[in-house]
Amino acid sequence: MAGGSKKQGHEKSDAERLAFIGGAVPGGHGLGQYRNILGIGAHPDDVEIGCGGSLALARKAGSTIHAVSLSRCEDETPSNRKGQREEEFLAASAIIGAKAHLSNIPDREFPENRREVVLVLENLQEELRPDLVFFPSLDDPHQDHNTVAQAVVRTFRRKETLLQYEILRHGSHTFTPTLFVDITATIDTKLRALSAYKSQIESRAYFDEGSFRSLARTRGAQSGCEYAEGFMVQMMYL
């Protein structure tokens, strides 16, 4: 492809990208205009996979960012490494600059604990009062992701902007983004945060830098930049 992915003279510099997301473009609705942003996941790695680059970008633009994992996934880890998933989540949250929030919904049993999930989300809404919420796709086939997505739509009805993110894994190929965030300035931060999840790198075929980088490059190619994250708009008010 002519031009490739290298920066050309006409492309935006990092400073220009940050000025844009900070809302400096007249009439623009930049990511940095949101002051209090919540990334909600069922499991410790969901938020970094789905919106880690956008959260890190918003943090650079001065927003307060929160990362939520509703499960600690303790039953998935060997008994001698019980706290590993939690530690990985805390490390990844620190790398993107997010305040970390953890709950104890049992992994893979979210549908049976729907009421608990809603209660946790209601408490987060009350405590943090976010103006932008990232959450898993309503069409995600994983029962935990799907339960969280339904609960988010049910809970956040105070004119928050609601954006669905994609969780790269087996079966995630039907996600069709309608909104893109240029994360060229924070792709390295996102990949560094994901590298904190050693337990997943060891056990999941899709969990490596190459797959995350290539998805971001694909979303970038679809939206005219080097690296991007794609989202589906659930609710937005202009």
Q: Cβ 12 to Zn ion, closest distance in Å?
A: 32
Q: Which is nearer to Zn ion, 135 or 156 (CB)?
A: 135
CB nearer to Zn ion: pick between 156 and 165: 165
Mark 16-35 with x for binding to Zn ion (rule: CB under 5 A) and - for no binding. --------------------
Q: Are 40 and 47 in contact (CB under 8 A)?
A: yes
The least CB distance from residue 47 to Zn ion, in Å, is 9
Interface stretch with Zn ion, choices 37-45, 170-178, 201-209, 211-219 (CB under 5 A): 37-45
Grouping H, G, I as helix, E, B as strand and the rest as coil, residue 179 is strand
Which positions from 42 to 81 touch Zn ion by CB under 5 A, shown as an x/- string?
xx--x-----------------------------------
Retrieve residue 128's tokens: 């943090």
Q: Is 85 a residue that touches Zn ion (CB under 5 A)?
A: no
- Find the helix or strand (DSSP H, E) in which 100 lies: strand 99-102
Whole-number Å distance between alpha carbons of 115 and 110: 9
For residue 73, the minimal CB distance to Zn ion (Å) is 9
From the CA atom positions of the chain, what is the Rg in Å?
Answer: 17
CA nearest 45: which of 106, 90, 105?
90
For 22-160, where are the alpha helices, taking DSSP H only? 46-60, 84-96, 114-128, 143-155
Distance CA 68, CA 89 (A): 9
Q: Which is nearer to Zn ion, 43 or 60 (CB)?
A: 43
- Cβ proximity to Zn ion, 45 vs 160, nearer residue: 45
How many positions of this chain bind Zn ion (CB under 5 A)?
Answer: 3
Residue partners of 145: CB distance under 8 A and separation at least 6: 42, 46, 136, 137, 167
- C-beta separation of 43 from 71 below 8 A: yes
Exposed (0-12), middle (13-18) or buried (19+): which is 8, by Cβ within 10 Å?
Answer: exposed
49 vs 95, beta carbon nearer Zn ion: 49
Q: What is the closest distance, in whole angstroms, from the C-beta atom of residue 151 to Zn ion in the complex?
A: 14
Q: Give the nearer residue to Zn ion in terms of CB position, either 46 or 88.
A: 46
Candidate ranges 36-44, 73-81, 99-107, 146-154; the one touching Zn ion (CB under 5 A): 36-44
In the complex, the residues that contact Zn ion under the rule CB under 5 A are 42-43, 46
